[in-house]
Amino acid sequence: MESLPCADPDLLLNTIRGQWKLNGYIVSDCDSVGVFYDEQHYTKTPEEASGGRNLKRLALEAARQGIVLLQNNGHSLPLSTVRHRTIAVIGPNSDVTVTMIGNYAGVACGYTTPLQGIGRIRDRTGLLLPGHQQELVSRVARASRGPTILVLMSGGPIDVSFAKNDPKIGAIFWVGYPGQAGGTAIADVLFGTTNPGGKLPMTWYPQDYVSKLPMTNMAMRAGRGYPGRTYRFYKGPVVFPFGHGLSYTTFAHTLVQAPTSVSVPLTSLSATTNSTILSGAVRVSTTDCHSLLTWC
């Protein structure tokens, strides 16, 4: 912008975050971070362009906060480092790095796969696990003498009803594409070093939902024989709803005052370090509170 690279701290910090008050995050496009070093020579080293040690810490924290605990039957998680000394890490994504970064990313300076942390690029035609992965999960669950934890790595929803209803599968969590530090983040959640606090950014539909959506119809609202799209208009059964996400921590909400403005203090009843961020949504059950203002 006017001969200044868009990595300029004055633009990012002073203008965008200072004057424009942006409280979100800024995303680079494809190889733009590498351009700072390769073509523009704005930085002296590739590590300086990507943020170096600060980036690694941020990548780990982003992966930790992005993990969504979908199910935790019988408090299967977190695992005990004393009782669970041996763990089998099984599956096509257990010791690979390609899936962790998705299909729109470059090569990071260093990766940690799920296996190291604990010790296919195409459109999908359905919502089930590809290949024989569902059979693999069920067989492992039947053979395991300890708790079976299903870790899902994907960029979108998956119909895992089979696992959700399998009493041998103790817990399920979704990590999305967790990035270069994904393996470490998974291990932290698995053993309770980090408390999962992520929420699903989309509805997880059952497999038969796909057959009801013709490619020629992009309408949002439901119609005759058409189920509708997103949580706002689709009212049918789901595997997991939009915004779903569990925690190891138990929360208590106390209503302390109720004029036109209500303050709800939050008390954590668990010793686990909590990173869960409340959505700020409060369901009002009475009809006389339309003008009620709430915050947490």
Residues serving a catalytic function are 29
CA distance 81 to 143: 21
Radius of gyration (C-alpha) of the chain in whole angstroms? 22
CA 206-208-212 angle, 5° bins: 120
> Judging by beta carbons within 10 Å of its beta carbon (0-12, 13-18, 19+), is residue 213 exposed, middle or buried?
middle
Q: Which residues pair with 263 in a beta bridge?
A: 295
Backbone angles phi, psi at 23, to 5 degrees: -110, 15
Are 205 and 183 in contact by the 8 Å Cβ rule? The answer is no
CA distance 155 to 186: 16
